[in-house]
Amino acid sequence: MNEILPTPPVHLSAVALDKSYRKGPEAVNVLRGVNLEVRKGEFLSIIGRSGSGKSTLLHLAGLLDTPDIGEIRLDGKRIDHLPAKTRDQLRNRVFGFVFQFYHLLPELTVLENVLSPLMIRYSMWEYWKKRSELQDQARELIAQVGLEHRIKHKPSQMSGGELQRAAIARSLISEPEILLADEPTGNLDVDTGKGIIELLERLNSERQLTIMMVTHDEAIARKGQRIVRLSKGQVENIRERVAS
Ligand code: ADP
Ligand code: MG
């Protein structure tokens, strides 16, 4: 079936981004004029060799760092130059982050880890008032990622795939519009990695979640609707958008 659907609007864009790091006396120009657009509800894969700047690009896109030159735009409006506090708020509300090494807090259970972004967002008093509603939301998400049997477990008692599912549930608790995933399967065996990608595909189609996923694995990248490659500090189109 070849339906013709209207193209969704651009959700997040990188415009002429430059970023360099200083390594001793030398500057390393990691990004040199990167232009990239991701549309609402799109699942975009970004590939590139180790050291090509994939994580750097994702960090700039999610306001974890600022470009030297260029802009990040959300729904067409520039966001990278906003005051730090506004950027923090945007980062916490608009973006969800998933990393290769999960970054779960070892002392907390799955339920507590998933709730942790809300403990930061709300004051202690507000959190306490809302806690039963928030816990229900967290339990629901934990079930959606297939971890209902691990709700009270701590990270040391869980497998890599389970840890990544917990990290994904935590990234969704703030109801982000855009999920930024940096090598989400990089630490997992092939089959476990496939399960994680299937979960991301489901979240993309069921919630219209916009996803930018970085990977060095082309087979994993092909699960996205569109693929771009970072090379020599710039973005090349590898595969145009296909219906998922
Ligand atoms: P990738 O994720 O594609 O492997 P990165 O974006 O992590 O690439 O890194 C790109 C280049 O920038 C690498 O050469 C790396 O060493 C360098 N780099 C990344 N972050 C920093 C930093 N905070 N300070 C100095 N150099 C960095
Ligand atoms: Mg990286």
**Residue 119: predicted pLDDT:** 87
Task: Give the residue whose CA is nearest to atom 18 of ligand 1.
Answer: 21
Asked if residue 17 is part of any domain, the answer here is: no
Asked if residue 147 is part of any domain, the answer here is: yes
**Residue 3: predicted pLDDT:** 67
pTM of the model: 0.93
Which domain range does residue 108 map to? 41-66+84-240
Residues with CB under 5 A from ligand 2 (ion): 54-55
Ligand 1-lining residues (CB < 6 angstroms): 21, 23, 28, 30, 48, 50-56
Ligand 1 site-directed mutation target among 19, 20, 23, 30, most atoms within 8 Å of CB = 30
Contact present, 11 and 63 (Cβ < 8 Å): no
Q: Which of 138, 193, 194 is nearest to 160 (CA)?
A: 193
Asked if residue 7 is part of any domain, the answer here is: no
CA distances from 217 to 132, 222, 235 (A): 41, 9, 17
Task: Give the residue whose CA is nearest to atom 25 of ligand 1.
Answer: 21
* Domain total in the chain: 1
Asked if residue 169 is part of any domain, the answer here is: yes
pLDDT bucket at 201, cuts 50 / 70 / 90: very high
Task: Give the residue whose CA is nearest to atom 14 of ligand 1.
Answer: 51
pLDDT bucket at 145, cuts 50 / 70 / 90: very high
pLDDT at 242 over 80: no
Residue 50: HSE in the Cβ half-sphere, 13 Å Cα cutoff: 1
Asked if residue 73 is part of any domain, the answer here is: no
Asked if residue 116 is part of any domain, the answer here is: yes
pLDDT digits (tens, 9 = 90+) for 151-180: 999 999 999 999 999 999 999 999 999 999
**Residue 239: predicted pLDDT:** 77
- Closest-lying ligand to the alpha carbon of 34? 1
The residues that bridge with 47 in the sheet, in sequence order, are 229
> How high is the mean pLDDT of the chain?
94
Asked if residue 33 is part of any domain, the answer here is: no
pLDDT at 60 over 80: yes
Asked if residue 77 is part of any domain, the answer here is: no
Average pLDDT over residues 136-144: 96
Domain of residue 173, CATH code: 3.40.50.300
Instruction: Give CA–CA dist 8/75, Å, rounded.
Output: 11
Helix, strand and coil in the chain, % to nearest 5 = 40, 25, 35
Ligand 1 atom closest to the CA of 214, numbered from 1: 2
Percent of the chain with pLDDT over 90: 88
Answer positive or negative: Cα dihedral of 110, 146, 226, 38.
Answer: negative
pLDDT bucket at 58, cuts 50 / 70 / 90: very high
